[in-house]
Structure 1
Amino acid sequence: MTIGNRMNERLNIQAAMPERVRRGLLALVLGAVAASVAVGAEPLASVPVRLDSGGAAYVAEGVVEAVRQTVVSAQVPGVISQLGVKAGDVVRSGQLLLQIDARAANQASVASSAQAEAARTAFEVASKDYARQKQLFEKEYISAAAMERAEAQYRAARAQADAAGAQAQASRVQTGFFTLSAPYAGVVADVAVTLGDMAMPGRALLTVYDPAVLRVTAVVPQSQAERAVPGGKLRIELPGAPAAQRWIDPAKQVWLPAADPATHTQQLRLELPAGTRGVLPGTFARVHLPVAAGAAQRLFVPAKALFRRAELSAVYVIDANGRAHLRQVRPGPVAGDEVEILSGLAAGERVAVDPLAAARTR
């Protein structure tokens, strides 16, 4: 069959169709095309980044630190022969933490003490001899040269006794380096060695901190530090703490009198009230710093527009052509159904309300 015959056959079939059937098929085709065009052209739901220029606080990220935290290190080499604590233990001031094998040092101390005792005995003999020679010289029984020799021997014996005594004292002090005790009452945060390890001078062995005195250290840009309200009430937020302990008023605040020349930031230290419980060093914190009106330019997006995966926080930014681009941001505190964006966005940009729908269009 030729092509012309096939076309004629199709035309005859279409002609044989009832008019109502042909109109129905045409409507179905046109409807499907219109639906496909509408789906492909449907824009993503998006909202502009909201700018709040009248914010009264700047939010700075910080970390909880122990005011007193000590890394206990070895001053002498030796094998760790006793380890009396583990991470998390509460210790009292002067409690034994770790013992280094000190047998050789103890023997050296005993030898130094014996040498010091011998030197003291020799000095006593020299003192008595000098006293006798002095009496003989006064009666003119010996010459001046003999008297000078006796005085020189006396002074030499005294110097040797002093040197031996100092050496013995140094040996006794050194034996104390083999016993490491808690410098104050606190908590053992970390134990970096095990029984039988070799301790070397300068090697960190344990970390102890005082839980009674904690502070939050935050890094604030100089532009915001200069606009801080003098005497303004600062607040500390602990996002991971229970609701009753999430907000804390600091007992004391201190601005370090130096700025980082590389990052142009200034460090703010806020001391937590005495008796604060359930807060550990290293905990993430936020500091709400009152600033002058109009100084803090705060950006907000809907909380549901924020896309989180593990440590990634991002939003889909819609460009002028309607395409979605994934961009990493640094989120701040949540305010109702919105979340503050600390960095990564600019005022006027649009973000996709549904990040999953935006991901499917890429």
Structure 2
Amino acid sequence: MKSLILAAPASLILLTLPACHQSTDESRETAEQPPVSVQTASVALQTVANRVEIPGTISPVDSAIISAKVIGTIDNIPVSLGQAVKRGDLLVNIIAGEISAKVLQAQAQLDQAVRDLARERELLNKGASTSETVKALEDRERILQAVVSEAETMLSYTRITAPFDGVITRKVVSEGDLASPGMRLLQIENSSALEVETDIPEILAPLIEVGTEVEVIMPGGEWNGRASISELAPGADPVSRTFNARIALPNDTPVRSGQFARVRLSGHPVDAILIPASAVTLFGQIERVFTVEGDRADLRIVKTGAVHGDQVEILAGLDAGDIIVVTADQPLIDGQPVEIN
């Protein structure tokens, strides 16, 4: 039997030798580095409230759509978009000639009834009239007084004033337009008092009540803080299965009506891994944590979750019982010797 001997190509040997030499150099370089003094902590499961984020919209507490109540021509709109107004300021003036004529007609009829009643009372005192006639004229006077009051009320609707202090946020009509009952004219909002309107999922409803504090987060960074639920619908929407809620914001919060907000709620308790936020470092967009294996640093890629004060939740990359580096005297590299304080 003949033996077959295979010889490796010289080029393969030459390529392998530098790679092995480089790996050996890196290991020797790491091993020769002096140990870095570190402070560590043991990873353990903790019970925390699960946090749920739901969308919300900034809206004013006081908002009104100004609509016409009578038919007429819009004569004057002395306000513009963004203008601040006070309660009672004129917003729209409508010309309604028919209503003005009805007021004059009703007032004339009332004046005639008053004169007739006065004359009959004099005749009654002289015995030339009857009490039934006087009573009928008194009833007629009261009826005409009601007619005048109704006509004057309709005439007052031609002069529309601001229901509260606020800012004009929408202007639908222009001077010369024909107004009709129910037609939208303007919108006014009180921007000094704002709230977040949101819908709470029914699974979280048992944990929420009026007065519950929640966290409000503005994606643009204008303002982040805690606020209390001021209103909560007693029943769920049958379509979305959510409960409408309103969250009162502190006065002078630097946000505007219509902006998007996130509302963070505390849900049911869950077990989670929490570590000090200082233990997590960034390498580009990669989140990493160093653990201690023996007397060396071991690099772990992690995925973080919700922040709880000065601690952060770890969703992946660590297990309970791991020893992590919280602080180090100098930046660490994978495999570097460490000395625990």
- Does the alignment reach a TM-score above 0.5? yes
**CA deviations over 1:13-54 (Å, ceiling 9, x no partner):** xxxxxxxxxxxxxxxxxxxxxxxxxxxxxxxxxxxxxxxx96
**CA deviations over 1:286-322 (Å, ceiling 9, x no partner):** 10111222299xxxxxx98xxxxxxxxxxxxxxxxxx
Gaps of 5+ in 1: 1-52, 135-148, 297-302, 305-335, 341-346, 349-362
- In the TM superposition, what are the counterparts of 1:239-318 in structure 2 within 5 Å? 239-240=219-220, 243=221, 245-276=222-253, 278-294=254-270
The CA deviation at 1:337 is 8.7
Corresponding residue number in structure 2 for 1:94? 88
Corresponding residue number in structure 1 for 2:321? none
Corresponding residue number in structure 1 for 2:141? 161
Q: Quick check: 1:228–1:291 contact (8 Å CA) kept in 2?
A: no
Structure with more strand by fraction = 2
| Residue 133 (1) aligns with residue 127 (2) | yes
When the two chains are superposed, the root-mean-square deviation of aligned CA atoms in Å is 3.1
Whole-Å separation in 1 of the counterparts to 2:113 and 2:96? 26
Gaps of 5+ in 2: 1-46, 273-283, 286-301, 307-314, 317-341
Q: Quick check: 2:87–2:165 contact (8 Å CA) kept in 1?
A: yes
Q: What TM-score, normalized by structure 1, do the two folds share?
A: 0.59
Count of residue pairs the alignment pairs up: 236
Q: Quick check: 1:116–1:164 contact (8 Å CA) kept in 2?
A: yes
The CA deviation at 1:233 is 4.0
2:195 counterpart (201, 215, 237)? 215
Whole-Å separation in 2 of the counterparts to 1:202 and 1:119? 35
The CA deviation at 1:197 is 0.8
Q: Quick check: 2:214–2:228 contact (8 Å CA) kept in 1?
A: no
Which stretch shows the higher mean deviation, 156-165 or 63-72? 156-165
Partner-residue secondary structure (3-state), 1:157: helix
The CA deviation at 1:75 is 0.7
| Residue 121 (1) aligns with residue 98 (2) | no
Corresponding residue number in structure 2 for 1:236? 216
Flag the 1:337–1:78 CA change in 2: closer, same or farther, 3 A. farther
Q: Quick check: 2:56–2:262 contact (8 Å CA) kept in 1?
A: yes
Q: Which amino acid aligns with 2:204?
A: Q
The CA deviation at 1:201 is 0.3
Q: Which amino acid aligns with 1:78?
A: G
Q: Quick check: 2:211–2:230 contact (8 Å CA) kept in 1?
A: no
Structure with more helix by fraction = 1
Q: Quick check: 2:212–2:228 contact (8 Å CA) kept in 1?
A: no
Partner-residue secondary structure (3-state), 1:236: strand
Q: Quick check: 1:60–1:220 contact (8 Å CA) kept in 2?
A: yes
Q: Which amino acid aligns with 2:265?
A: L
Flag the 1:150–1:254 CA change in 2: closer, same or farther, 3 A. closer
Corresponding residue number in structure 2 for 1:225? 205
Corresponding residue number in structure 1 for 2:24? none
**CA deviations over 1:65-94 (Å, ceiling 9, x no partner):** 111111111110111011111221110110
Q: Quick check: 1:58–1:224 contact (8 Å CA) kept in 2?
A: no
Corresponding residue number in structure 2 for 1:308? none
Q: Quick check: 2:93–2:158 contact (8 Å CA) kept in 1?
A: yes
The CA deviation at 1:55 is 6.3
| Residue 191 (1) aligns with residue 171 (2) | yes
Q: Quick check: 2:210–2:228 contact (8 Å CA) kept in 1?
A: no
Corresponding residue number in structure 1 for 2:76? 82
Partner-residue secondary structure (3-state), 1:125: helix
Partner-residue secondary structure (3-state), 2:270: coil
Q: Which amino acid aligns with 1:223?
A: I
Whole-Å separation in 1 of the counterparts to 2:304 and 2:209? 26
The CA deviation at 1:281 is 1.8
The CA deviation at 1:172 is 1.4
Flag the 1:256–1:295 CA change in 2: closer, same or farther, 3 A. farther
Corresponding residue number in structure 1 for 2:183? 203
